[in-house]
Every structure is written in C-alpha cells, then in structure tokens.
Amino acid sequence: ITGSTPCVSEKGESFRTATTMLRTVVRTASRVAKRHAITGTRAMASSQLDGKGKKLVLAYSGGLDTSTQLRWLADQGYEVVAFTANLGQGGGMNDEDFSGIEEKALASGAVKAYVLDLQEDFVKNYVFPVIRSNAIYESRYLLGTSLARPCITKAQVDIAMKENCQYLAHGSTGKGNDQVRFELGTYGLANLECVVPWRIPEFYNKFQGRQDLLAYAKERGIPIAMDAGNRPPYSMDDNMFHISFESGVLEDPAATAPDSCHKYTVPLTQAKETHDDVQIFYENGDPVKVVNLGTGEEATTPASILKMLNILGGAHAIGRIDIVENRYVGIKSRGVYETPGGTILRQGHLDIEALTLDREVLRIRDGLSLKYAELCYNGYWFSPEMEFLQHSLDFTQKNVCGEVRLRLYRGNVLALGRSSPKSLYKQDLVSMDVEGGFDVALSEGFIRTNARRLQAYRHVNGSAN
C-alpha cells in the first residue's frame, strides 16, 4: 500500500483493505500448500508402485494382511525379504508356533525369510526399562504394543543393512499409531525409506475388505487359510508382555467387551479361589529372580520371569483394563489390554522404590516417567530426548535393590513385606516406642516455619481469624 499518509478514517479503511488482502493471500497459500501436499503424497505413493530393482524388508506375521502385501509388493517388482519377530506371542500360556512361516513367506513371493527369536532382547531391553521407569500412559496403559515396535524395527533395520535393502515395509494402517512408531524408529536408526501399502491408493482401493484380500490370495496362490466364518469380531495383537483387543465390536465405547476377549487373563468370576504368594528380587530397578513361595519354583532370566508371572497373574485375573485412549495421530480409540506379569512387576517395583528412593528424587522421577511414557507411546524410542530420559531414570535406580513379597488374589496384587540392603527406612526413627535420635522438641519450629506462608496468605486474603 503506497501513497500519501491517509487521514484517520482513511487509515481505518486502509487497515480493513490490507486485512482483507492478507486473509485472501493466506487462504490462497493454504489451498496451494494443501494441493502441493496432496500432490506430493500421491507422487510419493505412485513412485512406490515401481519396485523394479528395489529391495525391501517387510515386517511379516504370516497372516492374511501381510501375506497379501508381500505378494502385491513382489508383483510391483520389489525383491521382498520377509522378517518375522518372535516376541513370545502367547505370553507363556499358549505360545505361537512359528514353524513353517519361512516356507509360507517364500511361497508368497519373498526372496528370503528371517524368523528371529527376540524374546530375551524384548524383555531385557524394552520391557524392563519401562518397568524401572514406572512408565504408564494416561495413568492406565502399560505400553505393551508401543514398546514392541522399536524392538521389531531395530531388528528389521539390522536385516536391511545385512541384505543391502533400501526400503522397509510394514502392514500398519493409515489411522493408527503403529505406522508412526515403525517409521520414526526407522528414520532414527538408518537412512532408509518406508513403503506402506495401506497408504498407496492403488493398494487400498483394490482391497476394500477382507473378502478382497482372500480373493487375491486365492488368485495368486498365497498359502493362507481361507475364511472359516469364525473369526473374532475384533483385532488382536500380542507379545510376551501383553495382548490387545481393538476394532470391530469394540469400536463402540459403550459396548461391553465379549467374554472371548480373555486370552492372558481369566474372567474375574473364574479366578482362583486360593491365593499365590511370590517373592521378586530387584537389582538396579530390574527384576532378577522370582520365586513362587508356594511351590518353590524359580525364574531367573528376563523372559522366564515374565512368563512365570503371566501364568500366575492370569489365573488371578490380574492386569486387565478396558480403556479409551488418545492416539498420537489425533483420534481417540478404545482398547482392551491384558498385562498380568507386567502389572505384578510394576507393583513390586513401586514397593521396593518406596523403601530405597529419596523422596525428592522420587517426585522428580514421577514427572520424567510421564514424559517417558509419552515418548514411548508416540514412537520416539530412538530419539535424543529418550536417550536423555533413559540415562536420567536409570541413575535413580542405582540403589533400587532388594526383595518384595506379593500376594496374588482375585485381581489384586497385595504387598506382604519388603527389605533392602539400601533401605532408607529407619525403624528407630518412626517408632512410637523409641526416640531413635528424633528430637520431637524440634517439631514445633519445623511446623511454625512451614506455617509462615499459610499465615501470609490468610492475611492477604483478609481472613477474620
């Protein structure tokens, strides 16, 4: 806007004119940016259709979705290396059988297939850090699916490096959190690109539902069991730490979950009528041994500890929740989760921490734990902020050691007792029968000093008394 300085009324008119022009520019720029974003996304998706001369690693479960994706990607020209992660699916109660999955992947179009046993790695390097950090998302979710994704991604990236692949692929949908977790993990670990069939229009337009996938599998000779008509009315995802139930009939948050949504835990009405007592030993915040005090059975490796507690906790209906949570992608979702062993380990860890951790350190730790859970849930496991938090939280655990005895009974984890060589609890100090070096005469000064700000607040607000 040029010209001589306008009068007051002209200034107002000029301001309105400039504002209108600015709004028009912003709206136009927004439309252009949106069009370019859509065009760019479509161009990226279209470029992924040509897989000739490209090699990728696909996270492969052997089910209908990933088997169909494997064949479809091979049809686009990709050399597909299939990767299946054994994370202890079944939780120790009914472990998944991975025999034959390599042959199925090769028959579906893979040039090579890997099935890796990651059970100890998963529990030691992903489950235990979450337990010793006391991480819990939105006060209820123990992050069972969230922490499995970085474990899978790291192994998948390692295979990509070994096989000279340029791409990674996964079967996650475009509405969920897992796509974010897999891809942020990939970009945080290596210079690789991601191919996501469920975000490629040619794929998701072709496969509108399960029947389309089944028809394609039959047409292309994919070795997959045809639909027997008895599929559960929801989706499931499991590992040794937990099992989740989502979608289908569970999409209505008011609907009661079917009784069939019990795999790792029994319904409360079917829980054992007699209790089980366990003793858990901790070192540096990690469980190192579990003893069933009733039978004398022991577990000392990370995976065996978790499986033993899964079996015991599941029989007592421990660790089951039905929640609505906030996904990172901006929508709410409903999920039913069963985490029996993890729930017991968390309760034991909280109890031994109460004995060994300084009050102020514990309060600061609690704040860091919230951020830790958020980063884990949102897919930032391989990030600088997560590395910082892990080091900080691990420092708080240097004296978290000792043993906790717990009673498992009808959905409850009850503390029976605890002890530690690093205990900050001094019995003489708290005893009502022994002075123990605590001078009660000093309490009055402590109270009056802390009351000063309360008296000042009362005075400022004009209290009559």
Residue 114 per-residue DSSP state: E
The beta-strand segments (E) located in 270-401 are: 276-283, 286-292, 298-299, 320-326, 332-338
**Which of 227, 244, 254 is CA-nearest to residue 89?**
244
8 Å CB contact between 226 and 64: no
Is 341 within 8 Å of 306 (Cβ atoms)?
Answer: yes
237 has catalytic annotation? no
Strands, DSSP E only, in 315-379? 320-326, 332-338
C-alpha angle 65-207-84 in degrees, rounded to nearest 5: 15
Q: Which of 67, 133, 178, 334 is catalytic?
A: 178
Asked if 50 is an active-site residue, the reply is: no
Is residue 149 annotated as part of the catalytic site, yes or no? yes
> Which is catalytic among the residues 30, 46, 47, 235?
235
Task: Match 């259709």 to its residue by tokens.
Answer: 49
The 3-state secondary structure of 174-232, one letter per residue: CCCCHHHHHHHHHHHHCCCEEECHHHCHHHHCCCCCHHHHHHHHHHHCCCCCCCCCCCC
65 catalytic residue (yes or no): yes
Q: Is 347 helix (H, G, I), strand (E, B) or coil?
A: helix
Which helix (H) or strand (E) is 408 found in, with range?
A: strand 402-409
Q: What angle do CA 63, 328, 338 make, to 5 degrees?
A: 55
Question: What is the C-alpha to C-alpha distance for residues 438 and 356, in angstroms, rounded to an integer?
Answer: 20
Q: Which of 71, 132, 149, 365 is catalytic?
A: 149
**299 touches 289 (CB < 8 A):** yes
Which positions are annotated as active-site residues?
A: 65, 149, 178, 235
